[in-house]
Structure 1
Amino acid sequence: MKIVSILESTRPIKSDIRNAYIDFSKMTLSLVAVVTDVIREGRPVVGYGFNSNGRYGQGGLIRERFVPRVLEADPASLINDHGNNLDPHKIWARMMTNEKPGGHGERSVAVGTIDMAVWDAVAKIAEKPLYQLLAEQYGNGIAQPHVFVYAAGGYYYPGKGLDQLGKEMQSYLDRGYSVVKMKIGGASLAEDCQRIEYVLKMLQPGQQLAVDANGRFDLATAVSYAKALSQYPLFWYEEPGDPLDYELQAKLSEVYQGSMATGENLFSMQDARNLIRHGGMRKDRDWLQFDCALSYGLVEYLRTLEMLKEYGWSPSRCIPHGGHQMSLAIAAGLGLGGNESYPDLFQPYGGFPDGVKVKNGYVDLPPLPGIGFEGKSDLITEMRALAQ
């Protein structure tokens, strides 16, 4: 049993949208295929992975550093102790050979992309959905494939007014979402309050709005927004300041009594631990958005969950960023609080397997082997083209 090849292709996911910090007009991602010599149904098992939106494709790092290390390793050193499957932890350790501690930047995205593909292959070799494999190996043995999802959108578009924002949000509600999210910080506070109030008036009982500043604010602006937002029944106030400014986050928690969310731009267990230690996050109401596809993959995410447990946090307070099926599988297997979803953006990489519908804010994952990419026809077409 061995990995035969690891292939990467940098793909465009460009869009005219923008948040408070960046536009997505030149956004890319890396698509990766891990090809094994294991045969299932007459074909080699191939695991697939890609990085989340908001960070660019990592083809150079993947091809020049991390793929050669894996392929140059003794294949026997990458097999689990039972000898019946690949070992994601051993493969991860091989990728990180000769990497110094710290420096959790672009390399965490490259490693996380390959790691996703490795876990997809491992679950396919085991002939199980990844969520079931995770529940058996790292959870309580019982997967919960009924997962909460929220709809992320509300970006700033050229010429986009309140009517267009309202139509977008209504389309998400009509598709079964109970929580929708919109961007703030890319306009004035007064204009953003107008936008928030417009959406809130559309919501029915049981429906909520979250807002996301994408790290735009300094402390004074974050506090000004917090005071204004306190009048609204928001699901959360997300990433007000720089993700590494734990002092800003801590001071803001003294002002804003509602729920806050952050963590999507923290790329290691150590950074996540610093947020828990120093960021003033409150385990009874706040949400953690660590995204395995940007932060060294599931191997590192498992370490992060162990760290959270040591600090008294429940995995149910984690709702990962990214809108991909990998985090859905983790949520179902390890009891996370849910997952982000992009109903209309970053396709074909976001979304659910064909036929999966959102009902009252939840989706039910089908029992597909691996992460479940084969169930999404537009996505698996792209993936198989790379592997072939």
Structure 2
Amino acid sequence: MRIVSVKDAVVPISSAIANAYIDFSKMTASVVAVTVEAGDGKRATGFGFNSNGRYAQPGLLRERFIPRLLEAGGDALFHADGGLEPAGAWMAMMRNEKPGGHGDRSVAVGTLDMALWDAAAKLAGVPLWRLLADRFRGGQADEAAWVYAAGGYYHPGKGTEGLVEEMKRYLGLGYSVVKMKIGGAPGSAIKDALRDDVARIEAVLKLLGGDGSRLCVDVNGRFGLHAALSYAAALTPYKLRWYDEPLDPLDFATHATLAEHYGGPIATGENLFSAADARNLVRHAGLRPDRDVLQFDPALSYGLVEYIRILNVLQTHGWSPRRCVPHGGHQFALNIAVGLGLGGNESYPEVFAPFGGFADDTPVQDSRVRLPGIPGIGFEGKSDLYAVLQGLAE
């Protein structure tokens, strides 16, 4: 078993959209193709990319992680079932890396890790969700994954009417739960921004028949405690699905204060990238395992190898994998959700093309998706994305 070649490229995913914290006018993503040759002569190319919101990592990939990956080989790459063991390749990539200091490093490794799991499943001739269920869950896989449509970004000239029309399109695609951005009125006093956001929320709720359980709102970490509490008081009567990333992701004490005052579900974790971070979050942020949602993104968190460690940490602290709904909206996390029994997965039906959304022949029905039987992650079933990936491999 050996790594034959690794190729990488930078792909623009820029757009005029913005959330409460950043805009995406200069956003990029790294794309990689990793070709693996098995001892029996089989050969497979796996693909990977980093999730939206974190920029491409060509320097880290080319200077450190790709050279180490190309040196990996031998028994470390063999799993007990005879297939590829991505954990062995992961250990080679992380050689001589000190603990801590996550962020961009975790993004680069996670991008390569995605490609390695794609290759591992292709060598086995099965979808990734099946490989994961067989290796980690005694063969048990979910029949489908719960998904929600993430959107509602700020866009020049887009008002409440445009927001409602966007959400209406998601409902037409088969999603029953949607997410919108709030807190993005720059320079506004809290009371003015809150007034505007309440009007936007109520407009979407009207479309949803007044059912708050079908709507999530996302702050992208912009608020301090005063704003977070002010919004929490206003949001409480709506009984929303969850209040997403209201605070700085590393401010655990302030999360704990918010959780004392807001009884509804809080979602966070998409900007934490390691098992150690996950442990600190559930120890110190006052989160409640009966209702809150953890959004660690395997593509940003050093990949699935580290994400499995995160799940083990959470279970040790009394959290079910069903409380995990990964950020990112990609097919990698969708396979993980089905294979490892998570609570669901984010989806981006209209943004971050071609990476957002799922395979062309996987329709959404009542916010649930059944995965196809394509070997690997299934990128080949998403034509616009596969055109980018295939070009890199060639």
After alignment, is 224-233 or 17-26 more displaced?
224-233
Q: In 2, Cα distance between the equivalents of 1:83 and 1:280?
A: 41
Q: In 1, Cα distance between the equivalents of 2:391 and 2:321?
A: 36
Deviations 1:89-114 (A, max 9, x none): 11101100000010011100000000
Partner of 1:147: 145
CA RMSD of superposed structures (Å): 1.6
Partner of 1:371: 377
Amino acid at match of 1:99: E
Partner of 1:313: 319
Q: In 2, Cα distance between the equivalents of 1:39 and 1:97?
A: 24
Partner of 1:69: 68
Alignment of 1:134-213 (within 5 A): 134-187=132-185, 188-204=193-209, 208-213=214-219
- 8 Å Cα contact 1:251/1:280 also seen in 2: yes
Partner of 1:249: 255
Note the C-alpha offset of 1:140: 3.3
Secondary structure of the corresponding residue to residue 253 of structure 2: helix
Deviations 1:167-204 (A, max 9, x none): 00111011111110000110211111110011001113
Q: In 2, Cα distance between the equivalents of 1:205 and 1:21?
A: 28
Alignment of 1:268-307 (within 5 A): 268-307=274-313
Note the C-alpha offset of 1:340: 0.2
Q: In 1, Cα distance between the equivalents of 2:272 and 2:247?
A: 13
Amino acid at match of 1:243: P
- 8 Å Cα contact 1:145/1:333 also seen in 2: no
- 8 Å Cα contact 2:294/2:323 also seen in 1: yes
Distance 1:249 1:366, change over 3 A: same
Partner of 2:360: 354
Note the C-alpha offset of 1:43: 8.6
Note the C-alpha offset of 1:71: 1.1
- 8 Å Cα contact 2:43/2:123 also seen in 1: no
After alignment, is 76-85 or 353-362 more displaced?
76-85
Secondary structure of the corresponding residue to residue 231 of structure 1: helix
Deviations 1:110-140 (A, max 9, x none): 0000000000000100111111111111113
Note the C-alpha offset of 1:352: 1.2
1:47 maps to 2:53: no
Secondary structure of the corresponding residue to residue 230 of structure 1: helix
Partner of 1:380: 386
Note the C-alpha offset of 1:334: 0.6
Partner of 1:262: 268
Secondary structure of the corresponding residue to residue 251 of structure 1: helix
Alignment of 1:18-57 (within 5 A): 18-38=18-38, 44-57=43-56
After alignment, is 81-90 or 164-173 more displaced?
81-90
Secondary structure of the corresponding residue to residue 9 of structure 1: strand
Q: In 2, Cα distance between the equivalents of 1:204 and 1:231?
A: 15
Partner of 2:124: 126
- 8 Å Cα contact 1:9/1:30 also seen in 2: yes
Q: In 2, Cα distance between the equivalents of 1:140 and 1:178?
A: 31
Secondary structure of the corresponding residue to residue 283 of structure 1: coil
Amino acid at match of 1:46: T
Note the C-alpha offset of 1:269: 0.6
> TM (normalized to structure 2)?
0.95
User: Percent of aligned positions with the same letter in both sequences?
Assistant: 60
Note the C-alpha offset of 1:82: 4.2
Partner of 1:88: 86
Secondary structure of the corresponding residue to residue 291 of structure 1: coil
Q: In 2, Cα distance between the equivalents of 1:210 and 1:337?
A: 15
After alignment, is 317-326 or 81-90 more displaced?
81-90
After alignment, is 368-377 or 75-84 more displaced?
75-84
Q: In 2, Cα distance between the equivalents of 1:248 and 1:312?
A: 22
Gaps of 5+ in 2: 186-192
Secondary structure of the corresponding residue to residue 201 of structure 1: helix
Amino acid at match of 1:103: G
Secondary structure of the corresponding residue to residue 22 of structure 1: coil
Secondary structure of the corresponding residue to residue 284 of structure 1: coil
Partner of 1:341: 347
- 8 Å Cα contact 1:323/1:342 also seen in 2: yes
> TM (normalized to structure 1)?
0.97
Secondary structure of the corresponding residue to residue 261 of structure 2: coil
Q: In 1, Cα distance between the equivalents of 2:298 and 2:79?
A: 25
After alignment, is 30-39 or 182-191 more displaced?
30-39
Note the C-alpha offset of 1:160: 0.9
Note the C-alpha offset of 1:283: 0.6
Amino acid at match of 2:331: Q
Q: In 1, Cα distance between the equivalents of 2:168 and 2:35?
A: 42
Amino acid at match of 1:64: E
Note the C-alpha offset of 1:77: 4.3
Secondary structure of the corresponding residue to residue 48 of structure 1: strand
Give the paired residue count: 386
